[in-house]
Structure 1
Amino acid sequence: MTIFTIVIPCFNEAEHIGMCLSSLNNQNFPRNQFEIIVVDNGSEDASVEISQALADRTIVYPDGKVGAVRNKGASEAKGQNLVFIDADCTLDNDWLNRALKLLSRDANTAFGGGCLLPPNASWIEKCWLLEGRDGNTLPKELIGCSIVTPRKVFKDIGGFDECMASGEDSELSARLKSAGYIVNMTRCLNVTHWGNAKTQFDFFNRQAWHAEQYKKSWRSNIKDPIFLLALVFCTSTVATLVLLPIGSTKTFLGIILLAVAPSALTVKRYFRTNRGPHNIKEALCSYYLDALYLTGRAWGLLRIALERVK
């Protein structure tokens, strides 16, 4: 009997996919009771070759966004339960045992975990994935690198949205709740994430890419506080640049908004960790990353607006 099917979307992850698959093959769980499916989205590196050597099946699926890639793996699954893991993550040896224990308590619940810092974490990773007194900060919604759900629940809600370039995981989480299912976030399903942005340039580009999720529905975007904050930040930036030569009161107001918006995110992140900054350096670095975060999201919004004008 196949209890778990582990679906791993992959795109140019030769640096990490070997570690990911090794951590799965080394689980303290009967190997004949779970299968590993890697769905490759058109990698140009050695990802496919590595996956073919270490996974049960490697499906080459070059067309489609990440939701479609995940759904493709799920459609080929034999397991009673689906596990979605990202190719740049590793699991400790008892991860599947804990997942089964959680599912045995409630078969109609989707479970998710958070991200642990790798041993060689950069200052960007440490200040972005702030750890609190109790450990890592758990996300409020499911994230694609750690999802466990009964296959029948996943099929009932129609799987991931295949039109979204990003944010398909949180959208799935919201749809599960709307359908009456419970979404339980727990540190029992934490994974170590090795593919975090380690440079400011990569961090900015990742946020600009995440802004692609705003293309789907402006109506649903209005309900997203982060979208509204990014919109305010984007508008304030443009207005400040336009009005800067004039030097009016509105210019001063725009500058204040630009300074305040990131601080709202910083305060929120520290509040969720249940602690304050360890020192002034950490506080300033965290604020800077939130400013860079909003700048990336604002740039992504601006690109979407320009595309629609064309």
Structure 2
Amino acid sequence: MISIIVPAYNEEKRIGRSLAALSNQTVPRDQYELIVVDGGSTDKTLKIAEDYADLTFIQESERVAGARNDGFLRASHDLVATTDADSIVASNWVEEAINSFSNSEVVLSFGPVTPIDKTNVDRRYALLFNGLIKLGAHSGLYYYTLGCNTAFRKNALLRAGMYRIMDAGDDLEIAVRMRKMGAVKFAPNMKVGFDFRRYHEFGFWKTLYEWYYIVLQGGISDKYSYTRRNYHQEPEWTDTEISGK
């Protein structure tokens, strides 16, 4: 029915909880496929993933967007969804993702985030994120479709060219192209727990500023390295762990 793609890189501390949540859904486990695309981890990420996933492999394309694309190409089902290796999906997430495509015109669906750590700071961060998500969804001016919580009709996604390989903004840019293929739907009950630790580490407003700067530069920039991490070796991918640990 649906294939779930999880990019991962050096996420041994968190990928287990993520995949456990994905494996315990309101939809029977044999009705969806779980694929983990590893970005060349040097820890036990891949070994842990093998205990849960139907398919694991080392990515061939570059960056987080490339890992998602590699997974889409190997997906067996007509619907595909993507989340992150440090995220924790709600127990009905798969069911809500499937139901969001009940209208045949829908080609992309996306949902809100909740903070994994229920601190006041992270609650405020989530409030801001969800405000941006809902504002875009209801106004139709843009679609804030986070990579941790987006689903697609596979045939439309492939025709659209999948994710563009870029430093930042690939998860927003894809929505622009998908909108030309059909309807984009906000699914309020399709919830994912989001880990804000990187925003604490690098500074929330600094991270947002660098992210928006890169997006406004067309998604590629040498000025900022974003989260200062490498993902799948070359090129240097600053948002390495936004896609998975």
Give the conservation status (yes or no) of the 8 Å contact 1:40–1:62: no
1:98 shift after superposition: 1.8
1:160 shift after superposition: 0.6
Aligned twin of 2:158: 155
1:104 shift after superposition: 1.8
RMSD of the TM alignment (CA)? 2.7
- After superposition, the Cα gap between the structure-2 partners of 1:59 and 1:122, relative to the gap in structure 1 and judged at 3 Å, is farther
Is 2:26 the partner of 1:28?
Answer: yes
Q: Could you list the runs of 5+ residues in structure 1 that have no partner in the other structure?
A: 219-296, 302-310
- After superposition, the Cα gap between the structure-2 partners of 1:107 and 1:14, relative to the gap in structure 1 and judged at 3 Å, is farther
| AA aligned opposite 1:199 | H
- After superposition, the Cα gap between the structure-2 partners of 1:98 and 1:200, relative to the gap in structure 1 and judged at 3 Å, is closer
User: Which residues of 2 match residues 183-198 of structure 1 at below 5 A?
Assistant: 183-197=184-198
Give the conservation status (yes or no) of the 8 Å contact 2:107–2:178: no
Supply the distance in 2 between the matched residues of 1:40 and 1:208 (Cα, whole angstroms). Answer: 28
Q: Per-residue displacement from partner, 1:247-302 (whole Å, max 9, x unpaired)?
A: xxxxxxxxxxxxxxxxxxxxxxxxxxxxxxxxxxxxxxxxxxxxxxxxxx9x739x
| AA aligned opposite 1:191 | V
- After superposition, the Cα gap between the structure-2 partners of 1:131 and 1:168, relative to the gap in structure 1 and judged at 3 Å, is closer
Give the conservation status (yes or no) of the 8 Å contact 2:34–2:55: yes
Give the conservation status (yes or no) of the 8 Å contact 2:11–2:85: yes
Q: Which has the higher helix share?
A: 1
Is 2:93 the partner of 1:95?
Answer: yes
Give the conservation status (yes or no) of the 8 Å contact 1:118–1:192: yes
Is 2:131 the partner of 1:137?
Answer: yes
1:200 shift after superposition: 5.6
Q: How many residues align?
A: 214
Supply the distance in 2 between the matched residues of 1:106 and 1:67 (Cα, whole angstroms). Answer: 26
1:105 shift after superposition: 2.5
- After superposition, the Cα gap between the structure-2 partners of 1:201 and 1:150, relative to the gap in structure 1 and judged at 3 Å, is closer
Q: Secondary structure at the match of 1:159?
A: coil
**Selected match of 2:113 from 112, 115, 127:** 115
User: Which residues of 2 match residues 224-263 of structure 1 at below 5 A?
Assistant: none
Normalising to structure 1: TM-score of the pair? 0.62
Give the conservation status (yes or no) of the 8 Å contact 1:39–1:69: yes
- After superposition, the Cα gap between the structure-2 partners of 1:172 and 1:32, relative to the gap in structure 1 and judged at 3 Å, is same
- After superposition, the Cα gap between the structure-2 partners of 1:40 and 1:89, relative to the gap in structure 1 and judged at 3 Å, is same
| AA aligned opposite 2:108 | A
Q: Could you list the runs of 5+ residues in structure 2 that have no partner in the other structure?
A: 137-142, 226-245
- After superposition, the Cα gap between the structure-2 partners of 1:202 and 1:168, relative to the gap in structure 1 and judged at 3 Å, is same
Give the conservation status (yes or no) of the 8 Å contact 1:176–1:183: yes
1:101 shift after superposition: 1.8
1:66 shift after superposition: 1.5
1:204 shift after superposition: 5.8
Q: Per-residue displacement from partner, 1:119-160 (whole Å, max 9, x unpaired)?
A: 44362x23322279xxx4351321101111111111110111
- After superposition, the Cα gap between the structure-2 partners of 1:22 and 1:102, relative to the gap in structure 1 and judged at 3 Å, is same
Question: Bigger radius of gyration, 1 or 2?
Answer: 1
- After superposition, the Cα gap between the structure-2 partners of 1:100 and 1:201, relative to the gap in structure 1 and judged at 3 Å, is closer
Aligned twin of 1:175: 177
**Selected match of 1:146 from 149, 157, 162:** 149
- After superposition, the Cα gap between the structure-2 partners of 1:109 and 1:127, relative to the gap in structure 1 and judged at 3 Å, is same
Q: Secondary structure at the match of 2:12?
A: coil
